[in-house]
A = this chain, B = another copy of it.
Amino acid sequence: MADAPKANAVVGQSGGPTGVINASLVGVIEEAKKHPEIENIYGAIHAVAGMVKDDFIDLGKLSADELEVVAASPSSAIGTSRDKPDKEYCARILDVFKKRNIRYFFYIGGNDSANTAHILNTMADEANFDIRSFHIPKTVDNDLLVTDHCPGFGTAAKFEACALMGDDLDNRALPGIKIDVIMGRHAGFLTAAAALGKQRDDDGPHLIYVPERPVSMEKFISDVDGVCTKLGRCVIAVSEGICDADGVTWAKKLAEQAEVDAHGNIQLSGTGALADFLAGQVKSELKVGRVRADTFGYLQRSYAGLQSSVDVEEARWCGRHAVQYAMQEDNGSVAIRRTGNGKDYAVDLFRTELKNVAEHTKSMPDEFINAEGNGVTDAFIEYAMPLVGELPRTGYLGGCPRV
C-alpha cells in the first residue's frame, strides 16, 4: 500500500436522516483534522448531488462548540439525497474530485451508500486516480450486513421504546385497542424495539408484527381478540412493511397510487393509510368500542433532544475510525463487533470490504422472533437493550390492591 496521499477529503451523508448521523460526521471531521495528509475536509451539500454540482463547505473551520451542537442534533446537517448514482453520474463526481484534488471520500449511509463508495473507488482505480473510499454505516432499520448493529438504530429504538412505554400507560388509563405503525420496510428490528420499554408482565406492546413474518388478517384479528379477552385491552406494534399471508405488504395492497423513489422503494411513511385500515378491520371484526391507531412517521428518525448515549458515542467512533483506516487502506466499510453483552456490553470496530455491505441487506434472524410470529424473544431483548442507553422507569398504580 502506498503512503496516504496529501490531498483533500470529502464527507457526505446519504439516505434517510437519523438521530446520530451528525455524530458520525463530527467524528470524521475531528479525526481528519489530526492528520496532516488531509489538507481540507469538505462537506458535500446534499451528498452525491453536491459532489456532482461542486457544492461544498469547509468543515475544518467549525469551532469545537459548533461541532458539539451538530453532533447532538438529529437529521443530516449537510443535507442528504436519495439519488442513486449511475456510472455517468460517478464519472462527473470524479471530475470534480480531480479538479479539487479530493482523494479521500467518506460516505455515511446504508447499503446503497456503500455501493456508491464501491463504484467510485473502482472507477477511480480504472482511471488511475487513486482515491481512498470509505463507508460509515448508518440506518434506523439496522439492516446492514457484517456489522453487529448500525449507528442510528439505537436512537430510533429508544424513540420506539419510550413511545410504547407512554402509549401503553395511556392505554391502561383509557383501555381499548391501540395500533402503532412503525418504520421498517423489510427489517423488523425497529418495530421489535417497541418491546424494549416493557417493565411489568402485562405491559404492552402485547403483539408485535415484523415484515419477516407474513400474517393473514384472520390471524391478526384472532391474536388481538385473544389479548383483549385476557387483559381487556391490547397494544400492537406493526411494521409499515407488514405482509399478508401471500407475502405482499398490506401497504402495497392499499397504495393505489404508490409513490416510488429513485431506489425503487415504495414510500410507506408519511401516511396514515395502513394504521387506519388495520383499525377499521379490528373495529368491524371485534365489537370493541375504543380502537385507535397512530403512524409514528418521521418523528422516529429525527426527534430533537433524544439520542441513545451508546449510539451517539459509537456513531462518532465509527466516523473517526473511517479516517484512521483511510490512512492505511484503499477502501472499506466500518463495522462493529460486539465483544461483551449485558452489563459488560462492549464493542470493537473493524474494516470490511465495501462489497460485503453494498450488495444485500439483513433481516431479523429467526431467533429474535417468537414461534407465533407475533412477538420478540429474550434473545432480541438481550441483543437490542444495550444499544438504547438509559430508559426511564414508569409507574402505574392500577395493579395496587383494592381497599
Complexed CA–CA distance, A105 and B296 (Å): 38
Complexed CA–CA distance, A43 and B401 (Å): 11
A394 & B273 in contact (Cβ 8 Å cutoff): no
What residue of chain B has the Cβ atom nearest to residue A394's Cβ? B73
B170 & A75 in contact (Cβ 8 Å cutoff): yes
B69 & A393 in contact (Cβ 8 Å cutoff): yes
Q: For residue A384, give the distance in angstroms from its CB to the closest CB of chain B.
A: 17
Q: Which of A348-403 contact B (CB under 8 A)?
A: 391-398, 400-403
A77 interfacial by beta-carbon distance below 8 Å: yes
Q: For residue A100, give the distance in angstroms from its CB to the closest CB of chain B.
A: 9
Q: Number of A residues whose C-beta is below 8 Å from B?
A: 77
Which residues of the other chain, B, contact A394 by a CB distance below 8 angstroms? 69, 72-74, 304
Complexed CA–CA distance, A303 and B397 (Å): 18
Which residues of the other chain, B, contact A16 by a CB distance below 8 angstroms? 174
Which residues of the other chain, B, contact A396 by a CB distance below 8 angstroms? 73, 75, 77
- Of the listed stretches A125-133, A158-166, A220-228, A242-250, name the one at the interface; the rest are far from the partner chain: A158-166
Which residues of the other chain, B, contact A325 by a CB distance below 8 angstroms? none
- Of the listed stretches A53-61, A145-153, A313-321, A336-344, name the one at the interface; the rest are far from the partner chain: A53-61
What residue of chain B has the Cβ atom nearest to residue A76's Cβ? B173
B166 & A197 in contact (Cβ 8 Å cutoff): no
| 0 or 1 for each of A37-68: is its CB under 8 Å from B? (1 = yes) | 00010110110000000011111011000100
Complexed CA–CA distance, A292 and B166 (Å): 25
In-complex Cβ contact of A402 among B56, B72, B298, B395 (8 A): B56
* 15 additional A-B residue pairs with CB within 8 Å, beyond A40-B403, A162-B303, A170-B302: A17-B170, A66-B395, A69-B394, A69-B395, A72-B392, A72-B395, A73-B169, A77-B395, A162-B305, A163-B299, A166-B298, A169-B302, A169-B304, A273-B276, A299-B299
What 9 A-B pairs have minimum CB-CB distances, sorted nearest first? Answer: A272-B272, A294-B297, A75-B169, A70-B395, A270-B292, A305-B392, A165-B304, A166-B302, A170-B302
Name 10 interchain pairs, CB-CB below 8 A, sorted by A. A40-B403, A72-B394, A73-B392, A74-B166, A78-B398, A79-B398, A165-B305, A166-B299, A269-B292, A272-B295
Mark A residues whose CB is within 8 Å of B: 13, 16-17, 22, 40, 42-43, 45-46, 55-59, 61-62, 66, 69-82, 162-163, 165-167, 169-170, 172-174, 178, 197, 269-273, 275-276, 279, 292-299, 301-306, 391-398, 400-403
